[in-house]
Amino acid sequence: MKKLYFLLPFALLGCKSGISTVNQKTSSSVAESTEIIYQIEQNDVSDFLKYLSSDELEGRETGTPGIEKAAVFLEDFFKKNNVKPYFSTYRDTLTNFKAPAYNILGWLEGTDPELKKEFVVLSAHYDHIGLLKNKQGDVINNGANDDASGVTVVAEMAKYFAKTKSNKRSMLFVFFAGEEKGLLGSKSLVQKLKKNDFNLYAQLNIEMVGVPMKRDYLAYITGFDKSNMAERINQYTGKNTIGFLPKEAEYELFYRSDNYSFYDVFKKPCQSISTFDFENFDFYHHPSDEFQVMNIPHITKFIQEFLPAVTQIATTSMQEITMTK
């Protein structure tokens, strides 16, 4: 997550199946809950997150050898899972950063001849803040929660859709660089997409989901009242998946992650989903944000619970998620 300067004084901040949907209920014109057979493997979640937040990557600061290793890892993941490059390669060069830096993009074409003209974007930033300067001891800001956890979620979603081919709309999977430098990766990319008449339906940006909240909902969404996305997600999952977090509104988190770059240009539902609630994680931008403090069962559950929602977003005949203000 892009640095929250005003918070610094607080020092906190089964067997897989190719069949994706077994039951879908409808009420009037709005699709409701969908049951998913496909099972997310906890070991896959663990292995992916463990490498992306490992010391070998030295905190993944944009423009460093560490983030280059992360980029290669993500490219290889897309290749292995038959997710195609969106541009000529998986790499999208940032236009607003002095050193070579890259977003990593993959996409899956929709299966419906008309709906495939619309895109759903799933995204997370794979950069972090790198190494502490002039310190002793642990100097690596591994960024497991921020935001290797989000990248892991998006990667598992990409694998799911590549296997099940259950997306009628096209899907763009984006791993941003430069988020910690001021949302640079997303700001660069949206200008290119806009010039190419990119037809965006909605963006779900995943930000800091490595530990659970002690609340009666699984996650919160930034800009809760800007669209009906929270309401639709809960309808699609049949659960109290998304709730309203007052701190999110107080700190205006809608404007502090890569969803905002997309909203600013496309004025479509573009929001971040998180489980970092300012009470459940003490290592924001800290060397102790490591794999060992991540809750792998929680992340696995998060992905599994969101599969019905993302599936519905990618398949409904109408654009049911709309802006409200």
Give dist(CA 323, CA 31) in Å, integer.
Answer: 18
* β 270-274/170-176 pair status: unpaired
Q: Residues 106-128: pLDDT tens digits?
A: 999 999 999 999 999 999 999 99
- Residue 98 clears pLDDT 90, i.e. is over it: yes
Q: Which residues contact 16 (CB under 8 A, 6 or more apart)?
A: 38, 39, 41, 163
3-state secondary structure of 135: coil
| Contact in structure between 172 and 86 (CB atoms under 8 Å) | yes
Q: What is the pLDDT of residue 134?
A: 80
In one letter, which amino acid is 306?
F
- Residue 29 clears pLDDT 80, i.e. is over it: no
For residue 94, which of 62, 67, 119 has the smallest C-alpha distance? 62
Instruction: Find the mean pLDDT for residues 125-132.
Output: 98
Confidence of residue 31 (pLDDT cuts 50, 70, 90): low
Which range is least confidently modeled, 23-32, 128-137, 187-196, 299-308? 23-32
Q: What is the pLDDT of residue 132?
A: 96
Q: What is the pLDDT of residue 156?
A: 98
Which range is least confidently modeled, 28-32, 50-54, 83-87? 28-32
Domains of the chain: residue spans and CATH: 16-313 (3.40.630.10)
Beta strands in the chain (DSSP E): 21-27, 30-36, 84-85, 91-93, 102-108, 119-125, 170-176, 200-206, 219-221, 242-243, 270-274
Q: Which residues contact 46 (CB under 8 A, 6 or more apart)?
A: 296
CA end-to-end span of the chain, whole Å?
25
- Residue 5 clears pLDDT 70, i.e. is over it: no
Confidence of residue 208 (pLDDT cuts 50, 70, 90): very high
Q: What is the pLDDT of residue 17?
A: 36
β-strand partners of 41: none
- Residue 20 clears pLDDT 60, i.e. is over it: no
Q: What is the pLDDT of residue 4?
A: 59
Give dist(CA 172, CA 127) in Å, integer.
Answer: 19
Instruction: Find the mean pLDDT for residues 225-232.
Output: 98
- Residue 11 clears pLDDT 50, i.e. is over it: no
Q: What's the mean per-residue pLDDT of the chain?
A: 92
Structure tokens of 283?
């290592």
For residue 199, which of 259, 104, 324, 114 has the smallest C-alpha distance? 114
Give dist(CA 38, CA 20) in Å, integer.
Answer: 6
Report phi then psi at 23, rounded to 5: -155, 130
- Residue 14 clears pLDDT 90, i.e. is over it: no
Q: Residues 146-165: pLDDT tens digits?
A: 999 999 999 999 999 999 99
Give dist(CA 207, CA 74) in Å, integer.
Answer: 17
Q: What is the pLDDT of residue 33?
A: 74
Instruction: Find the mean pLDDT for residues 77-97.
Output: 98
Q: Residues 238-258: pLDDT tens digits?
A: 999 999 999 999 999 999 999
For residue 74, which of 150, 10, 9 has the smallest C-alpha distance? 150
| Contact in structure between 305 and 239 (CB atoms under 8 Å) | yes
Give dist(CA 50, CA 31) in Å, integer.
Answer: 36
Q: Residues of the chain with pLDDT > 90: what percent?
A: 87
Instruction: Find the mean pLDDT for residues 90-116.
Output: 98
Q: Residues of the chain with pLDDT > 70: what percent?
A: 90
Instruction: Find the mean pLDDT for residues 303-321.
Output: 98
Instruction: Find the mean pLDDT for residues 184-190.
Output: 98
- State the Cα angle at 104 between 262 and 51, rounded to 5°: 120
Give dist(CA 253, CA 60) in Å, integer.
Answer: 23
Length reported for the chain: 325
